[in-house]
Amino acid sequence: MSKPYFSRFLHSLIPAIFLTIFSFQFVNAQDGEALFNANCKACHAVKEKVVGPALEGVETRHDHAWLLKWIKNSQAVIKSGDEKAIKLFNDNNKVAMPPFNLKDAEIDAILAYVKKESEKQETPAGGAPTAVAPVKEQSKPIWPYLLIAAVVLIIISGILRSVQLTLQKTVRAKNNIPEPPAMTRKARTLYWIRNNKKLIAGIIVLLVVWGNVKGWYTLMSIGVSQGYTPDQPIAYSHMLHAGKLQIQCIYCHSGAEKGKTAGIPSANVCMNCHKFVKKGPTTGTEEIAKIYKALDYDPSTGTYGPNQHPIHWTRVHNLPDLAYFNHSQHVVVGKVACQTCHGPVQDSMTVISQYSPLTMGWCIDCHRRTPVKMEGNAYYTDFHKTLMERMPGDTVFTVKDIGGLECSRCHY
């Protein structure tokens, strides 16, 4: 390769590599909100205590270098005897923060996001609270990163192909080999296919296997709505009511103890509290006013009008008609916690979503591994004695041992 061509090659290749590295590092390191949501949000909020302390003003309370060490491995800092770390650990009920494999730039991006959120004003100059509608979290699209990578790979492939052709031409010139006749693009493609039959066969096999696997999982996902998070007519936060306020699930969904369906609470159940609580901590009066409107309720006089109408909630969990599920059998008799199927609504769900897949396989797996709570449960007193006699030595029985895998139990 001649020196001028090699120089041009380097001048083309180095910026392409730099663009790839810079693009990925810059985008990932600076996306503080996404990093905060992925790593911190489960235990921390900016302006209120969750599991860990509120992060507002964290950089004024702690040295930056200390924060980097603490976030990367808090337990190592505690074990080193750092008094500040030990006090922070003890003040937060000795709940250990897991280590995070984050770069300094990523931690700086998180801290910048926290600082930005801390500086947001909750109350405008007039003094009235600002109603903030709950924002549905959306994952960042990955296609820009893939597009950048594809462009860089195409540039590098073009450069390497040019180098290859130049080297081939140099070798032919050195050995006095005549140049091959020019070929059309179609002819070159056919020539390459004929001389790379094994590679082509391997690609076809991989595509067939990938297509079958992709098709299988696509068919398996039909009717599965895990993660379904519809918008609701009123922004109701389970994390606030069931988590922070510790309202029991049964208080609102009383049908879960009495019958097949848990039921949606009527607006009158909401009014047991909201006759007195007229302003929410994040949405102000906006969402509670929608309850009043549905009931034609005047909060200033405490009277109901004649123009009442139902609230049209969007159903989230919906089993097919061919499957039978009874809430009371699981909640009262089986003593299954609501979170087993519906997820930690009290910890993370400002907007309710379908947590479990609710597929037949998922139900069967649960029946196979879940022990039946028989002792002290009057419903199973006689049945427990029968099982003990029939299977001596066994003290723990799962749902499958009492017929939980029979088709007719769930399909009728």
Tokens, residue 23: 């693009």
* Residue 14 predicted with pLDDT over 70: no
* Residue 221 predicted with pLDDT over 50: yes
pLDDT at 26: 43
Task: Identify the band that residue 144 occupies on the pLDDT scale cut at 50, 70 and 90.
Answer: confident
Task: Identify the band that residue 17 occupies on the pLDDT scale cut at 50, 70 and 90.
Answer: low
* Residue 119 predicted with pLDDT over 80: yes
* Residue 297 predicted with pLDDT over 80: yes
Percent over 90 (pLDDT), the chain: 39
What's the half-sphere exposure (Cβ side, CA atoms, 13 Å) at 405? 11
Q: What average pLDDT does the segment 158-175 reach?
A: 89
Q: What average pLDDT does the segment 150-164 reach?
A: 91
Higher pLDDT: 331 or 188? It is 331
* Residue 1 predicted with pLDDT over 80: no
Higher pLDDT: 335 or 1? It is 335
Higher pLDDT: 285 or 36? It is 285
Q: What average pLDDT does the segment 30-54 reach?
A: 79
Residue 409 burial (C-beta neighbours within 10 Å; 0-12, 13-18, 19+): middle
* Residue 122 predicted with pLDDT over 70: no
Angle, helices 32-39 vs 104-118, to 10°: value is 100
pLDDT at 393: 66
Instruction: Say which residue the tokens 């009511």 belong to.
Output: 241
* Residue 136 predicted with pLDDT over 50: no
Closest CA to 166 of 207, 290, 174: 174
Higher pLDDT: 310 or 131? It is 310
Tokens, residue 278: 């007229």
Higher pLDDT: 252 or 134? It is 252
* Residue 316 predicted with pLDDT over 90: yes
Q: Which residues, including other chains, have CB under 8 Å from residue 275's CB and lie 6 or more apart?
A: 299, 302
- The pLDDT tens digits for 87-109 are 888 888 777 788 888 888 888 88
pLDDT at 234: 95
Taking a C-beta distance cutoff of 8 angstroms, is the pair 349, 136 a contact?
A: no
Average pLDDT of the chain to the nearest whole number: 83
pLDDT at 140: 67
Task: Identify the band that residue 23 occupies on the pLDDT scale cut at 50, 70 and 90.
Answer: very low
pLDDT at 12: 52
Residue 298: beta bridge partners? 303
Tokens, residue 409: 């139990």
Higher pLDDT: 20 or 183? It is 183
pLDDT at 103: 86
pLDDT at 85: 84
Instruction: Say which residue the tokens 């590295």 belong to.
Output: 21
Task: Identify the band that residue 204 occupies on the pLDDT scale cut at 50, 70 and 90.
Answer: very high
pLDDT at 380: 77
Percent over 70 (pLDDT), the chain: 87
* Residue 392 predicted with pLDDT over 90: no
pLDDT at 394: 65
pLDDT at 130: 42
Dist CA 399 CA 370 (whole Å): 6
Give Dmax (Cα) for the chain: 103
